[in-house]
Amino acid sequence: MPRDLRPLFEPRSVAIVGASNDPAKWGQWLARDALRGEHRRAVYLVNRSAAEVQGRRSYPSLAELPEAPELVVLAVPAAAFEETLDASLEAGARAIVAIAAGLGEAGEEGRAREVAAVARVRAAGALLLGPNCLGVYDAAAELALGTDDFVPGPIGLASQSGNVALEVSLLAAEAGLGVSRFASLGNQADLDAADVVEALAEHEPTRLIGVYCEDFRDGRAFARAAHAARQAGKPVLLLAGGASAAGLRAAASHTGALVSESAAVDAACRAAGMVRISSTRELVELAQLLLAPLRPRGRRLAIVADGGGSAVIAADLAAACGLELPVLSDETAERLAPLLPPTGTTRNPVDFAGAGEQDLRSYERVPRVLLESGEIDTVLLTGYLGGYSATSPELRAPETDAARGLARAASEAGVPVVVQTMYGRETPAQALREGGVPVFRDAEGALRSIARVVRYEAEAPPGVPELPRPDPALAGDGYLEARSALAAAGIRFPDARRVGTVDEALAAAAELGYPVALKALGLVHKSDAGGVALGLATEDDLAQALAAMPSAAGHAVEPMVTARTSVELIVGCRRDPRFGPILLVGLGGIFAEILRDVAVALAPAEPGEVEELLLTLRGAPLLTGARGRPPLATRAAAEAAAALSRFAGAHPELAEVEVNPLLVTPSEAVGLDARLVL
Amino acid sequence: MPRDLRPLFEPRSVAIVGASNDPAKWGQWLARDALRGEHRRAVYLVNRSAAEVQGRRSYPSLAELPEAPELVVLAVPAAAFEETLDASLEAGARAIVAIAAGLGEAGEEGRAREVAAVARVRAAGALLLGPNCLGVYDAAAELALGTDDFVPGPIGLASQSGNVALEVSLLAAEAGLGVSRFASLGNQADLDAADVVEALAEHEPTRLIGVYCEDFRDGRAFARAAHAARQAGKPVLLLAGGASAAGLRAAASHTGALVSESAAVDAACRAAGMVRISSTRELVELAQLLLAPLRPRGRRLAIVADGGGSAVIAADLAAACGLELPVLSDETAERLAPLLPPTGTTRNPVDFAGAGEQDLRSYERVPRVLLESGEIDTVLLTGYLGGYSATSPELRAPETDAARGLARAASEAGVPVVVQTMYGRETPAQALREGGVPVFRDAEGALRSIARVVRYEAEAPPGVPELPRPDPALAGDGYLEARSALAAAGIRFPDARRVGTVDEALAAAAELGYPVALKALGLVHKSDAGGVALGLATEDDLAQALAAMPSAAGHAVEPMVTARTSVELIVGCRRDPRFGPILLVGLGGIFAEILRDVAVALAPAEPGEVEELLLTLRGAPLLTGARGRPPLATRAAAEAAAALSRFAGAHPELAEVEVNPLLVTPSEAVGLDARLVL
């Protein structure tokens, strides 16, 4: 059951504690903002000393209010946090928004104060947003506290940064979009990103969710909420702060965040079908496409340009984004030809070559042929639509008509059109937006967004896996313990014998068959410490190797696994403090060292999912059999990795578990080393 | 000697042939544009039938003009091209701009007409711009023909697309920049990109050169002109159309271009120190930084943000661009602390945490500490500067003062500051631009541009190499001929013996020593055709291999080259129709197949340059000795590739030459195969 956030977003009454007349204080802005909603709800201003604030009666304390305030906003310094919070609860508040900075993000003591406060809030059955937050916004309820610049629209926002949300709202407004609801998460002492996303998923006017988050608290709950939103048809765009070392440093001082590794966030995005973005600009660009009535669903793009150079540049940019520009059929080319001057081109890109100047209706007619051709998935019109209106006012009406016709053509064909123009403020561009056509300022942004949405539409996110019930905790984390625990979990390893003496080693090797490998036990990084000798072909080799590798903990002797063709994988799980165990698969050896060619998923993962993951690696052709190589046992590798991920999921006491390398041959996948970190 | 383009850009008189009153005709726009410069020069309108055009006397033909027109613009259809061109020359024109499309770009016949016309233009000592062009612009001369939207500024433009130039000028104007000169290149029948760049390099008001080009004509002359411009302190930003298959298709129909492979353009950029870009947006973003009085010269960046979230996002974006965010020293942190609220952060990123609201002078004071610290190379201020002016008019003056102070602080410290703000139209942003501070709309664009300029400043482009005098043409292109010609050029190969019979093969192998390789002669793709057998260890193996590999042209027997550690390189040269021979080096095997990990240079290249090239490969750690591997003979590999590039340069009859693989061991680089294509 999601928490009921109605008292936060649609309060029947609101009180501003710390309401002020001083224009340098938040209390002044918040009071002003609250009063703008006076026609929708009772607004109470509370100020310890002033009798009047902003021309309204002010109350000396919450206790004096004529009714219980449903929402209380605390615009008071951190020192007064507990006192005003308790007074709010006493006054009957159902939701509290705490602006004050300097609590949980400022260190241990502040965190303890937050925890204690939250306990009291929850005991009272109320909600707390913040502290260290900017405010809250609900377009339909006309509630805009700390967010007076926001304009209404379909985007729901949850953000740990007020400024980031403000930037999104400004960019969104330029794109003809706006915000449905916004919660400034602050320190997430009580309400966190998961709660807000969960509520937004069920909030009818919200059609897309944008999140800026540094600390995911219960990361799996957050991912589940995001997956539910996607299932409900609402894309979730995630800007996760702290993808770099410097970003981590910044996030730690900003919200005292316990920031997850970037790979863990990637794994959560993959599971939940969130789109991970890296800037506010990207968020609004993608929102334009995802909120349009028609979404690009395939890679086949037609480019229409009113200028040869624009056509060439857009074609190059499209190719760089992985989009395809199919050559149009003769039939379509023949339908285009009469609409274009003789110097126009009818294949793809289609170059107007001045058709627009000759007849503005070309802006509808030419794309219409493409939209109706059945040969492409999306049309990009790039160039100067709107420029005629900008330079010749008498052309505004016909140009706007053409723009409306273009929007209609897309709608009738059921194929999306996207427009790039420098004249995005002119009436033709407005007509396009009103008709559901996304308008971009630059071709680069348009094309990368189209490519991203095509991938989005093709995804089938598996959802957030349940963690299995914990198995009995592991006793040891030595090499042989790791091997046997993982073997029991279903991963194949070659035989291994623990040996204490030369004679035992020789006996083991005789039984296993030469060549053998010798490994010193009791070392965490055996290879680096010289504790591994491979390919020992004779008794002498083995005896010499043993003599050169003293080990108080003894040794292991194993048969060498050989194959004509094989690939080494790295398979491991690491426990993220927020998202739990994360499965990582990657190619080993050179690929790991130079390319960091890895893919991640939330553990436990199913074999089918891991197989897909393996195929996303750049080095995947080595597994599938490129250029005459035999295909390798990819499914077996996926099963081994899935088994490892189940094992990690069932052992919460493990910080890390790794099989590196996992040797994949044409017939099997065999672990050649294993490591546990408790 | 560059051609003197004064009559084109600064004509003392101009005639418009085809001047018109019809608003749908170029002749109307051009006449109007020309008349705007009437206070600078005589303007003659020529119209076959009208006596008056745009309220001015019109002449029925060029022959009637009272003086020789220095510049003639032909706004006539392609059919009238020759006639009006000849009339222009007869009337004494020194420069002719031909707008008409439908000539050289439309096929063989049009091309022949252009060639013939150019011969007459050159015989008369005149210049021709176009045909198929938009016009010409010179800010200082107040000449704006077909370019009435351009605003004056420091950017010189040469473009094969009028629309692309127009888009650049619009974006530049928004960034407070403008255009010094612009030539619309069209089909480049006479004047080409090289001529215009050469002239812009010597044009004092031009401080940066932007080029959009699809067909480079004499590519090396173009690269030399660009290199000269860079040597003269003028960066050249190149948008080369046709980097993708679809782009090539579009370029071919746009200007009938003979488009170079993208790799050849890369090689030219490397030699000349041009910055290759992929969009008009990128051009103007980079121009902002490159034209500022201070350029970012190192990777150490400080981020100042007026909001924690903005700080985190910018830090993550900076890291993704390869910039460094050093942790600031205690000393600098102590100087910052008194300027920030207690919740501010003083390391890097530096978070205002509301310092701006408390005192707008913070926007100068906080960055100043960083600029003066000596710990960083660039400061990025990201956030809301200008937002106070937007919301509170009374804050405009103090905020603009702070912006001026910030510009002054950068100037005094000699360290660049770059500002990102959503409020780029407000007066503080204008004050910044006037003070030489680049202002960006989004952090992404700012950071990628900073990173690009840092690389630019670190480059030392080698210049365009001279092609050697041709050696006598090669007689044959067989395998053994290729080997011996390349061996003579200085590349090491193992011995090889041509054999005709089994006995000869066994004798050769006995002499060379087993194991040997056997190759069938007379096949272009030996490996693919089963014409290569490697590692033949015995007489029997060799005899069997020979029996299984019949070849009328005979066989070669070679000793196998073995090394404990080695890497296979691909080294080749291909002749580009515009840029001549291009050297390509790359890692072979898996890297070539999966990653296309290659680097290119204009041939001939010096060994030192090739060594640098090899070190730019992603797989370079394999050469230099990563993770305990021995370093390989990279210098020897570079010398072999340099020798191959000299060889290709001296053999213009060669379309292609390749040594693949070039085996690089710890001690040597040896060619294991060789191929020529005449």
- What is the predicted pLDDT for the residue at B359? 87
- A324: which DSSP letter? B
Instruction: Point out the residue among A278, A282, A384 whose CB comes nearest to the CB of B316.
Output: A278
For the stretch B19-74, pLDDT in tens is: 999 877 889 989 999 999 999 999 999 999 888 999 999 999 999 999 999 999 99
Helical residues (DSSP H) of B52-185, grouped into ranges: 81-91, 108-123, 162-174
What ipTM does the predicted assembly reach?
A: 0.92
Spatial separation of the C-alpha atoms in residues A581 and B478, rounded to whole Å:
59
Nearest CA in chain A to B161: A309
CA-nearest residue of chain A to B171?
A422
Phi, psi of A136 (to 5 degrees): -150, 155
Min Cα–Cα distance to chain A from B551, Å: 24
Tell me if A254 and B443 make a contact (CB, 8 A cut-off).
no
Q: Identify the residue with better confidence: B529 or B598.
A: B598
Contacts of A283 in chain B (CB under 8 A): none
Q: Which residues of B touch A347 (CB under 8 A)?
A: 249, 253
B259 → chain A, closest CA residue: A312
Per-residue pLDDT at A249: 79
How far from each other are the two terminal CA atoms of chain B, in whole angstroms? 35
Q: What is the pLDDT of residue B116?
A: 96
Tell me which residues of chain A have a pLDDT lower than 70: 1, 253-259, 524-528, 590-591, 593, 627
Select the residue of B101, B308, B590 nearest A161 (Cβ to Cβ).
B308
Average pLDDT of the residues of chain B: 92
Q: Is pLDDT above 80 for B428?
A: yes
Q: Give the count of Cβ contacts less than 8 A between chain A and B.
A: 244
Task: Tell if the CB–CB gap between A312 and B383 is shorter than 8 Å.
Answer: no
Residue B40 tokens read as: 């600078």
10 Å CB burial of residue A92 (0-12, 13-18, 19+) is middle
Cβ separation B313–A246 shorter than 8 A: no
Cβ separation A325–B246 shorter than 8 A: yes
Structure tokens at A30: 């918040």
Interchain proximity A342–B102, CB inside 8 Å = yes
Residues of B whose CB is below 8 A from A343? 101-102, 105-106
Cβ-defined contact of A246 to B315 (cutoff 8 Å): yes
Q: Which residue in A160, A244, A590 is closest to B309 by CB distance?
A: A160
Average pLDDT over residues B531-543: 89
d(CA B607, CA B43): 57
How far is A11 from A18, CA to CA, in rounded Å? 19
Residues of chain B with pLDDT > 90, as a percent, come to 74
Interchain contact, B162 vs A307, CB within 8 Å = yes
- The shortest C-alpha distance from B368 to chain A (Å) reads 20
- How far, in Å, CA of B96 to CA of B80, rounded? 14
Are A571 and A607 spatial neighbours (Cβ–Cβ below 8 Å)? no
pLDDT above 70 as % of chain A? 97
Burial of A346 (0-12, 13-18, 19+ CB in 10 A): buried
Nearest to A170 among B171, B249, B422 (CB): B422
Pick from B441, B454, B304: nearest CA to B371: B304
Residue A256: predicted pLDDT: 61
Q: Which of B250, B306, B391 comes nearest A308 by C-beta?
A: B250
How far does B279 lie from chain A, in Å, by closest CA?
7
Chain A residue closest in CA terms to B441: A281
To probe the interface with A, which of B312, B321, B343, B392 has the most A CB atoms within 10 Å?
A: B312
- Per the CB < 8 Å rule, is B250 touching A349? yes
Residues in chain B within 8 Å Cβ distance of A303: 246, 250
From chain B, pick out residues whose CB is under 8 angstroms from the CB of A422.
Answer: 167, 170-171
A66/chain B closest Cα distance in angstroms: 35
Copy the structure tokens of residue B164: 């692309």
Chain B CB contacts of A253 under 8 Å are 308, 345, 347, 351
CB-closest option in B167, B250, B357 to A312: B250
Considering CB atoms only, which of A247, A345, A619 is closest to B594?
A619
Flag whether pLDDT at B590 surpasses 80.
no
Alpha helices, DSSP H, located in B141-237: 162-174, 193-201, 219-231
Rounded mean pLDDT of chain A?
92
The answer, yes or no, to whether residue B90 has pLDDT greater than 70, is yes
| Cβ contact, residue pair A315, B249, below 8 Å | yes
> Chain B partners of A135 at a C-beta cutoff of 8 Å?
none
Put simply, the answer to whether A315 touches B383 (Cβ < 8 Å) is no
Q: With contacts defined as CB-CB under 8 Å, which chain A residues touch B24?
A: 357-358
Q: Which of B366, B346, B356 is nearest to B409 (CA)?
A: B366
Sorting pLDDT into bands at 50, 70 and 90, what band is B256? Answer: low
The answer, yes or no, to whether residue B322 has pLDDT greater than 90, is yes
Contact across the interface for A347 and B161, Cβ inside 8 Å = no
Q: Would you state the pLDDT for residue A524? A: 67
Largest CA distance in chain A: 100
For residue B91, pLDDT over 80 is answered with yes
Question: What is the percentage of chain A residues whose pLDDT exceeds 90?
Answer: 74
Chain A residues touching B343 at Cβ < 8 A = 101-102, 105-106
Residue A529 CA, distance from chain mean position:
39
Across the interface, whether the CB atoms of A164 and B619 are under 8 A apart is answered no
- The dihedral built from the CA positions of residue B57, B62, B66 and B71, taken in this order, carries a sign that is positive
Residues with Cβ within 8 Å of residue B6, at least 6 apart in sequence = none
Residue B290 neighbours by CB under 8 Å, 6+ apart: B208, B235, B237, B453, B456
Sheet holding A42-46, edge to edge: A52-53, A56-59, A42-46, A13-17, A71-74, A95-98, A127-129
* Parallel/antiparallel/unpaired status of strands B56-59 and B52-53: antiparallel
Structure-block tokens of residue A49: 């000393």
Q: How far apart are the C-alpha atoms of A239 and B265, rounded to whole Å?
A: 36
Residues of chain B positioned with their CB less than 8 A from the CB of A320:
243-244, 278
Chain CA centroid to CA A339, Å:
44
Q: Find the CB nearest A310 among B106, B164, B243.
A: B164
Coil/strand/helix, residue B212: strand
Q: Do B160 and A349 touch (CB under 8 A)?
A: no
Question: For the segment B77-89, what is each residue's pLDDT rounded down to a tens digit?
Answer: 999 999 999 999 9
Chain B partners within 8 Å of A212 (Cβ): 309, 313
Q: Is B517 left (phi over 0), alpha (psi -120 to 50) or beta?
A: beta
DSSP code string of B37-54: TTTTSEEEEE-SS-SEET
Which chain A residues are within 8 Å of B627, Cβ to Cβ?
593
Q: Which of B281, B316, B345 sits opposite A253 (nearest CB)?
A: B345
Contacts of B241 in chain A (CB under 8 A): 309, 312-313, 316
Calculated CA dihedral for residues B221, B222, B225, B230, nearest 10 degrees: -140
Q: Which among A382, A313, A349 has a CA at the least distance from the CA of B239?
A: A313
Q: How far is A140 from chain B (nearest CA, A)?
A: 24
Contact A241 B619 (CB under 8 A): no
Q: b or e along B162-176 (b: 16 or more beta carbons within 10 Å of the residue's beta carbon)?
A: bbbbbbbbbbbbebb
Neighbours of B575 (CB within 10 A): 20
Model confidence pLDDT, tens digit, residues A235-258: 999 999 888 888 887 777 666 656
pLDDT confidence band for B308 (50 / 70 / 90): confident
Name the residue facing B309 among A161, A315, A383 (closest C-beta).
Answer: A161
Chain B partners within 8 Å of A149 (Cβ): 391
- What confidence tens digit (pLDDT) does each residue in B539-563 have? 999 999 988 888 888 899 999 987 7
B164, B307, B351: residue with CB nearest A253: B351
- Chain-chain contact of B246 with A353 (C-beta, under 8 angstroms): no
Say what the pLDDT of residue B121 is. Answer: 97
Q: Is B306 in Cβ contact with A250 (below 8 Å)?
A: no
